[in-house]
Amino acid sequence: MPLPPPTAQRARKHTRSITFEGFRRDDGLWDIEAHLVDVKDQDLNLRSGVRKAGVPVHDISVRVTIDNAMNVVDVVACADYTPFTGVCEQILPDYRQIIGLNLFKGFLKAVKNLFGDTRGCAHLSELLMAVPTAAFQTFAGEMKHGESEKKPFHLDRCHALATDSDVVRRFYPRWYRDPTPGQGPLPKACNPSSKEGAA
């Protein structure tokens, strides 16, 4: 369902575009690429000079390379446009500090701690905060969990896929946990090799 029509006349002033792409590499790793562009509909008077309408204020990209366990094995960031050319870009190599982190184990907190306030680029950090969910979507349908002893990586990552949800009860019965206090997991008899239990 689209947004309802605006309730007043208006003039657009700013457009922020953010895109994420996920790639399977032929070496068994994965690349998640994020790109952010800010553009004004009118000339912008920056302290560093005038940025003409339509010319990006920010054009920032990052590529995060991960393995099948969501561990970050490499990262590279670049900026084609920034408000303070030659200064903003100096912080980008610092983002290699995320190498070794796991996207689903304390990643967001680590990014905040490492690059909060003046320790990083607000826009690049914003992109990184959404990389875990972009990776989640990249992996969807690619990783097979039907016979695995490990809980599928996407369970307990959102409301619908909470292990006490009806969705998990119906489609992932092996991993369902009854939300009723004092109730444990469903008996293993509910798990067998039924089609519902396959990822």
Instruction: Assess whether pLDDT exceeds 80 at residue 65.
Output: yes
CB 175, CB 163: distance < 8 Å: yes
Instruction: Note every long-range contact of 171-178, with CB atoms under 8 Å and residues 24 or more positions apart, other chains counting.
Output: 171/196, 172/196, 172/197, 172/199, 173/197, 175/151
The residue ranking higher by pLDDT, 148 or 12, is 12
Task: Supply the CATH classification number for the domain 14-139.
Answer: 3.90.1010
Instruction: Assess whether pLDDT exceeds 80 at residue 49.
Output: yes
Tell me what the pLDDT averaged over the chain comes to: 87
Reduced 3-state DSSP string for 72-129: EEEEEEEEEECCCCCCHHHHHHHHHHHCCCECCECHHHHHHHHHCHHHCCHHHHHHHH
Please tell me the predicted confidence (pLDDT) of residue 33: 98
Please tell me the predicted confidence (pLDDT) of residue 42: 97
The residues spanned by each domain of the chain are: 14-139, 145-199
At 91-125, the pLDDT tens digits run 999 999 999 999 999 999 999 999 999 999 999 99
